[in-house]
């Protein structure tokens, strides 16, 4: 691999994105020469994508990421957040970019991202590195993609830090930043303690208990809810964007059963303004922990591992369940039969045990099926993309089997009955869907559980058509605050 310039993600958002893209190429072990024919750009153009002096254009970034054999969608979304952060520079824009950056790095380059700090440490560092009086052009420069289409990018002269690197040695700069971050963290912790102490003695809101069990984080989550109820902030609901019939983002907006359920909950919570935020499977816990979303509704299975936090993911608090489904396997149908087509062979598959050892299995990274295979120590060379459609779209050719929730798979088999077949017997334990919340948001959990009870009849009617082949609507909430 050709040598690359070393970037510091604590410097600016532009540097942070370049750092992540360099890490993506490093983890995939590909050179610019190997990437060029896949990206349809020459090595010089690909090198400029990660120069750290300006944000790349969308077409160039897509080609770069595609050449690394990674889904470019999340990276394009990250570029959009980076453009907003650079042009506006306010704390909310920086926070959104930092959270998305960290989430994507954990998902696509877990080893490389171990040196990346928290989202808050990134925002603090970027803020400290800004210099007063520095101007940023409000208008983007227009560049051309490979087909001549115009594409806005950030001007090459934009830098949030004008001090030359030679004037600040890396050890000294890092020491100063670390010390400032630590000081701010201590001050912030003190401020939060005072707020929590004051709330515990004088706050008369009925939904917040004055007992010592109320942590500052819980009060913050409830305050966010109260602000959303008053219309002061927009409530952010994490959802998935490509689950057929359940949660889809189309030209006209969001649609699907899970989207409709999310609307029911938002209305029951008396939230005035909300928006749906696209969030992949592997980064859900981080999105909740870092405040990128306020709650997550989208086939989020309740499990002991997720409640504890495993594999580097933070713990998650759940409310629910509101739906239950078995786990099953979907395969390409062998033409003219009820059997599966595996490695071009006609194979009857009724259960997990019927899968031949050479089956090319695809599961979503961080999913229940992924955890099941890890515990069973089976199909260790399985594919683990970031979302289900990346498995299913390649089922006829690249993969032989997709393992996930029966309810998700049923949508595809119903749409294409001649193309797919679902194994009869489930594997593992049934998946119980819950509403994901930040780990310490006990007060918010209480309010969400109340909202779930208030919409019980509407939810039963909404999920009635999905309650087939062992799927059902539970009659009680297992994940709820202690009485």
- pLDDT, tens digit, 9 for 90 and up, residues 353-395: 999 999 999 998 888 899 999 999 999 999 998 777 788 888 8
End-to-end Cα, the chain, rounded Å = 60
Q: Report the alpha-carbon distance of residue 287 to residue 444 in Å, rounded.
A: 16
Give a yes or no: residue 167 inside a domain.
Answer: no
- Average pLDDT rounded to a whole number, residues 190-198: 32
Confidence of residue 88 (pLDDT cuts 50, 70, 90): confident
Confidence of residue 219 (pLDDT cuts 50, 70, 90): low
CATH number of the domain that residue 462 is part of: 3.40.190.10
Total domain count, the chain? 3
Q: Report the alpha-carbon distance of residue 254 to residue 235 in Å, rounded.
A: 16
Number of other residues whose CB lies within 10 A of the CB of residue 81: 20
User: Is the pLDDT assigned to residue 245 strictly greater than 60?
Assistant: yes
CATH number of the domain that residue 75 is part of: 1.10.260.40
Same domain, 318 and 453: yes
- Going 304 to 283 to 300 to 407, the CA torsion angle's sign is negative
Q: What is the pLDDT of residue 482?
A: 62
- Average pLDDT rounded to a whole number, residues 224-250: 92
User: Is the pLDDT assigned to residue 236 strictly greater than 60?
Assistant: yes
- Average pLDDT rounded to a whole number, residues 157-164: 33
User: Is the pLDDT assigned to residue 451 strictly greater than 90?
Assistant: yes
Same domain, 20 and 122: yes
- Alpha helices by DSSP H, 89-234: 91-108, 119-129, 170-202, 216-229
Angle, CA of 165, 169 and 174, to the nearest 5°: 100
SS3 content of the chain, % helix, strand, coil (to 5): 45, 15, 40
- Average pLDDT rounded to a whole number, residues 60-85: 86
Pick the last residue of a domain from 130, 146, 173.
Answer: 130
Q: What is the pTM of this model?
A: 0.59
3-state secondary structure 8-25: CCCCCHHHHHHHHHHHHH
Cis before 321? omega within 30: yes
Q: What is the pLDDT of residue 420?
A: 94
Same domain, 318 and 436: yes
Q: Domain containing 436: what range?
A: 213-323+432-466
Smallest CA-to-CA distance from 19 within 166, 126, 171, 167 is with 126
Give a yes or no: residue 110 inside a domain.
Answer: yes
């Amino acid at each position: 691999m050709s040598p690359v310039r070393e970037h510091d993600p604590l410097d600016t958002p532009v540097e942070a994105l370049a750092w992540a893209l360099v890490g993506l190429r490093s983890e995939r072990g590909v050179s610019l020469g190997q990437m060029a024919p896949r990206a349809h750009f020459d090595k010089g153009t690909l090198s400029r994508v990660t120069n750290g002096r300006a944000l790349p254009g969308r077409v160039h970034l897509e080609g770069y990421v595609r050449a690394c054999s990674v889904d470019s969608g999340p990276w394009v979304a990250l570029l959009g957040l980076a453009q907003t952060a650079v042009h506006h520079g306010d704390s909310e824009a920086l926070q959104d970019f930092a959270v998305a950056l960290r989430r994507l790095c954990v998902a696509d380059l877990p080893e490389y991202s171990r040196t990346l700090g928290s989202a808050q440490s990134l925002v603090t560092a970027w803020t400290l590195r800004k210099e007063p009086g520095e101007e940023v052009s409000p208008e983007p420069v227009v560049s051309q993609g490979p087909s001549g289409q115009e594409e806005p990018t950030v001007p090459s002269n934009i830098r949030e830090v004008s001090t030359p690197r030679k004037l600040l040695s890396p050890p000294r700069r890092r020491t100063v930043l670390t010390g400032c971050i630590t000081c701010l963290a201590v001050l912030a912790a003190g401020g939060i303690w005072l707020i929590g102490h004051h709330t515990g003695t004088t706050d008369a809101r009925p939904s917040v208990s004055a007992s010592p069990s109320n942590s500052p984080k819980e009060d913050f989550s409830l305050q966010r809810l109260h602000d959303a109820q008053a219309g002061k902030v927009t409530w952010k609901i994490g959802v998935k964007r490509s689950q057929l019939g359940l949660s889809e983002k189309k030209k006209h907006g969001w649609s699907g059963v899970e989207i409709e359920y999310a609307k029911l909950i938002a209305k029951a919570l008396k939230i005035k303004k909300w928006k749906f935020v696209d969030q992949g499977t592997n980064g859900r816990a981080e999105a909740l922990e870092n405040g990128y979303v306020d709650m997550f509704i989208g086939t989020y299975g309740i499990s002991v591992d997720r409640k504890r936090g495993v594999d580097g993911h933070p713990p998650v608090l759940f409310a629910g369940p509101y739906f239950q489904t078995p786990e099953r396997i979907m395969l390409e149908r062998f033409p003219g039969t009820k059997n599966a087509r595996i490695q071009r062979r006609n194979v009857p598959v009724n259960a997990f045990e019927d899968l031949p050892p050479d089956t090319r299995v695809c599961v979503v990274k961080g999913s229940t099926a992924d955890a099941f295979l890890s515990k069973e120590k089976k199909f260790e060379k399985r594919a683990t993309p970031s979302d289900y459609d990346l498995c299913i779209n390649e089922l006829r050719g690249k993969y032989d089997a997709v393992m996930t929730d029966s309810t998700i798979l049923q949508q595809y088999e119903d749409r294409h009955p001649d193309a797919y077949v679902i194994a009869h017997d489930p594997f593992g334990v049934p998946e119980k869907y819950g509403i994901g919340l930040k780990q310490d948001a006990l007060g918010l959990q209480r309010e969400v559980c109340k909202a779930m009870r208030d919409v019980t009849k509407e939810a039963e009617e909404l999920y009635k058509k999905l309650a087939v082949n062992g799927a059902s609507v539970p009659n009680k909430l297992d994940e709820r605050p202690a009485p």
